[in-house]
Chain A
Amino acid sequence: MSQLSEINQRCASLYDDLNFGYAREWKAAKPGRKVVGHMPFYVPRELIHAAGALPLGIFGGGDQLEVIHGDAYYQSYICRIPRSTIELAVTNRLDFVDGMLFPSICDVIRNLSGMWKVMFPKVYAKYVDVPQNYRDDIGGTFYIHELNELREGLAKMAGRPITDDAIRAAIALYNENRRLVREVYAFRAAEPWKAPAADVYLLMRAGMTLAVEEHSRMLKEYLDAAGKAEARKRDNCRVVVTGAFCEQPPLNLIKSIELSGCYVVDDDFMLINRWEKGDVALEGDPLTNLAHAYIHNSGHTAAKYEDKEKQKGLWLVDTVKKNRAEGVIFACPSFCDPALLERPMLQHALADHKIPFVAFKYAENSGQMQPIREQAGTFADSIKLWSVQ
């Protein structure tokens, strides 16, 4: 088996394992180890690592988990990810998780943080607020204090203090990881026929489970192996997929987009892997550095306020240009407030720049891919056949 196949297979098995065997084994390997789950789109994983704990991305149950209990906690008009997350928990698949972090992404995940406190009172559950004011002396100061509160909470959970040096060491590890993630994205944008969207997705998803050091090794190996691999270049159109930053699309949906004639050259599936767009500084106070990176050098998503009206949506236009994409696919989960409220504004920005787009919705357990294939295929054809070059 080639190295590339091995990596792909390893990533697929991590993705399929809804009992989180890797994280369980990691925890059992040394006494006192802790595991801290977190939901999309961003948490400061450096603090979890500095507490000697393993950050574990909980991105729902996908299309392989039968949700029975979870549906009893949510109305039909609420998205899928919280119900499958509850399902994972009440079926004891998360019984080894010592803490859960809920980022400030929407009201559903926000309220899930409170549900966790009620349902699992022994687990450290924390809502992670982030600043929507981007001045260092206002939002920055607020976030430093929030980070400090989180640091104290994690330290209490871990039973050990979290030192500045430990945070700096974690920042260095995540800096390296983010650099490699960016390299993989750049590689795919350059030669997408060598880095199929589903493979890259699974590779990134592995980073939600593996220890950061191990994931970084895997990314290096992938870059090396994929770079050498022979693959036939197809006459596909190049697309950016956006809107899928929380509840994840089923893997078959990602495959379907590519099978329908699109190369995915950028996406927002797992923003946390490259949220900070450059290295976080290592000198000085580490919390200040993390706050500074969040405010001045982080990604874009609907959960983040755009304080400059004229800038609204331009990040997507830039992403399209930077990656030489020919169009954008809005793939949003049903009932996802942030993605669906944001969509018209992003579409206006694209229209202003004459960038074609198409939109559809999904749920993490969507099974019927034919409509997606038809829509994406028609979109690709329309670009190939009628776009003005």
Chain B
Amino acid sequence: MNARTPKEVVKEASMVKQKEMISGNYAKLATAKEQGKKVVSTFVPGNLNELIMCFDLVNNLPEINAIQNGMRKKTGAYIMEAEKRGHSEDVCTYVKADLGMIAKGNIGPDGHPLPSPDALLLSYTGCFTFMKWFELVREQYKCETLMLHVPYEGDGHATKNMRDYIVKQLKEVIIPGLERVSGVKFDIDRLRQILKESAKAEENFVWVLNSAKHKPSPIDAYFGGVYYVGPIFTAFRGTPEATEYYRLLRGEIEQRIANGQGPITPEGDMKEEKYRLVVEGPPNWTSFRDFWKMFYDEGAVVVASTYTKVGGVYDLGFRHDSDHPLESLAEYCLGCYTNRNLPSRIDLIEKYVNEFEADGLLINSIKSCNSFSAGQLLILREIERRTGKPAAFIETDLVDPRYFSPANVKNRLESYLQMIEQKRRGGAPAPSPAAAAAPAVALQ
């Protein structure tokens, strides 16, 4: 018997609301077939939730299933199952967690069976793996797959050709396909209404993200941030529930600012903000709480993160626009974080370090996510060079528990925070652990 009683996790009202929303969507999925509802599976970056809503489809998000399963410690077995079935140990663990879950009976994170999708809406945005993922899932379900190819912003900006290409696919492939699957006729005015609702939520969402500019920051924009992005990145953008969630969240944070409080953590209010960090890369989900605790135990607050931009970089000004509905969806897809080229990502991180007055950049490099990870060591060097702030590198994985080494992560984090201390005391800027290992290279 464990003599230690686990501390009760502290939750704000918005967290409770979000939990209800996510549970509600899983309940919708579990009962979709008996309710006569059609189900569409789709991805988070470049998701077309507003469009999906126009066809009364229930939205199933495999990435979210993997995350939820990861947090419930279920993904290790799923990944092993997928590997047993011939999937390489080298590839994305979201994919293997999903395929393993399907192989083991397709029981969702909430313990209820997930329905077979009626369509796969493949929004190929910012991640090559998405394309293979849905080809693999299509093998299982043999259902209709609607591919939306979103071109990559290789030169750091969207072009008219890219927008036109997406809009044309929406008009001639995606919308007719969703009409066919759902039996519902597309109504552009309905889409306009939903987009108006999206924009309302987006305003408050951006306010929440920017609240971290306060000192102390009232939020943790990474560990807390992954909760804050929940509704807007998933099946709720465009719903009145999402608008209400962000209104509620904003109110809570306004109160925290008024009270001079820092972020709320699973163990209550954070006592003292000692370090302000920007974090690049997704979190580890299988040890999410332990990972977070390493930060708040040290007084480290994440004031901006790039992971909270994978489903849209709203803080740069983008809002869904009901006056230009399809063009706006195209613009949204193009602008998602991992669809931006590496120089744009570096510029964004530099902006965060400066505007949020961060002490430095921490990169959580994910073993099985090349979209994020390839190039991160250059990002680290560039940010150090441009800002003069120290950067550091840790390595974990998304949902494969074999690749989370708590001692290593903690050790690296503590070393990094000591580096920041040294910098504050006016010591010579210490090279980051990663940069120290790298020989100096003369660039052209």
Binding site for B on A (CB under 8 A): 68-69, 72-75, 77-78, 82, 90, 95, 102, 104, 106-108, 110-115, 117-123, 126-129, 131-133, 135, 137-139, 141-142, 145-146, 149, 302-303, 305-307, 309, 312, 332, 334-338, 340-345, 347-348, 361
B91 to chain A: which residues have CB within 8 Å?
337, 340-341
**Are the CB atoms of B129 and A337 closer together than 8 Å?**
yes
Q: Pick the interface stretch among B149-157, B188-196, B239-247.
A: B149-157
Q: Is the CB of B87 within 8 A of A107?
A: no
Whether the pair A337, B370 counts as a contact (CB closer than 8 A) is yes
On whether A340 and B129 interact (CB within 8 A), knowing A69-B439, A126-B155, the answer reads no
What is the distance, in angstroms, from A19's C-beta to the closest C-beta of chain B? 17
Contact A75 B373 (CB under 8 A): yes
User: Taking CB as reference atom, which chain A residue is nearest B161?
Assistant: A145
Q: How far is the CB of B6 from chain A (nearest CB, A)?
A: 33
23 examples of A-B residue contacts, CB within 8 angstroms:
A72-B441, A77-B373, A90-B442, A115-B375, A127-B155, A128-B154, A131-B165, A137-B168, A142-B161, A145-B159, A146-B151, A303-B128, A305-B147, A307-B147, A332-B88, A335-B90, A335-B370, A337-B90, A338-B128, A341-B95, A341-B129, A341-B133, A347-B86
Interface 9-residue window, one of B320-328, B338-346, B419-427: B338-346
CB <8 Å contact, B441 and A118: no
Cα of A117 to Cα of B155 in the assembled complex, Å: 9
Q: What is the CB-to-nearest-CB distance from B330 to chain A, in angstroms, rounded to a whole number?
A: 12
The interface bits of chain B over 342-380 (1 if a CB of A lies within 8 angstroms of the residue's CB, else 0) are 111110000000000000000001011011011111100
Minimum C-beta distance from B30 to chain A (A)? 26
In the assembled complex, the CB of B72 is this many whole angstroms from the nearest CB of chain A, namely 25
Q: Chain B contact residues (Cβ within 8 angstroms of A): what range?
A: 35 or more
Let me know if A118 and B374 touch, CB within 8 A.
no
Contacts of B34 in A (CB 8 A): none
Partner of B88, one of A90, A118, A139, A343: A343
A107–B346 CA distance with the chains assembled, in angstroms: 17
Residue contact B147 to A132, C-beta cutoff 8 Å: yes
Question: In the complex the two chains form, what is the Cα distance from A123 to B443 in whole Å?
Answer: 12
Partner of B343, one of A73, A118, A129, A342: A118
Among listed B137-145, B262-270, B310-318, interface-contacting one: B137-145
Please tell me if B382 contacts chain A, counting CB pairs below 8 Å. Answer: yes
Chain A nearest CB: distance from B371 CB in Å?
4
A345 touches B136 (CB 8 A): yes
CA distance A107 to B128 in the complex (A): 6
B428 in the interface, Cβ–Cβ < 8 Å? no
Residue contact B88 to A340, C-beta cutoff 8 Å: yes
Closest to B122 in A: A305
A142 touches B136 (CB 8 A): no
Partner among A90, A142, A341 whose Cβ is within 8 Å of the Cβ of B132: A341
B18 to chain A, nearest CB (A): 30
Residue of A102, A129, A139, A305 touching B135 (CB-CB under 8 A): A305
Name which residue of chain B comes closest to A336, CB basis: B90
Once A72-B438, A132-B124, A337-B370 are accepted as A-B contacts, the answer to whether A114 and B341 lie under 8 Å apart by CB is yes
B375:A111 contact, CB within 8 angstroms = yes
Separation of A69 and B159 alpha carbons in the complex (Å): 35
Candidates B131, B139, B439; contact of A305 at CB < 8 Å: B131
Knowing that A111-B375, A132-B149, A342-B132 are A-B contacts, what are 11 other residue pairs whose CB atoms are under 8 Å apart, sorted by A's residue number?
Answer: A72-B439, A82-B374, A90-B441, A110-B152, A114-B345, A132-B131, A139-B165, A337-B92, A337-B132, A338-B132, A361-B90
For A78, list chain B residues within 8 Å (CB). Answer: 370, 373-374
Residue among A69, A121, A129 making CB contact with B154, cutoff 8 Å: A129
Set of chain B residues within 8 Å of A127, measured between Cβ atoms: 152, 154-155, 341
Closest 9 CB pairs of A and B: A114-B342, A127-B154, A72-B438, A341-B132, A145-B161, A132-B149, A142-B165, A340-B88, A114-B341
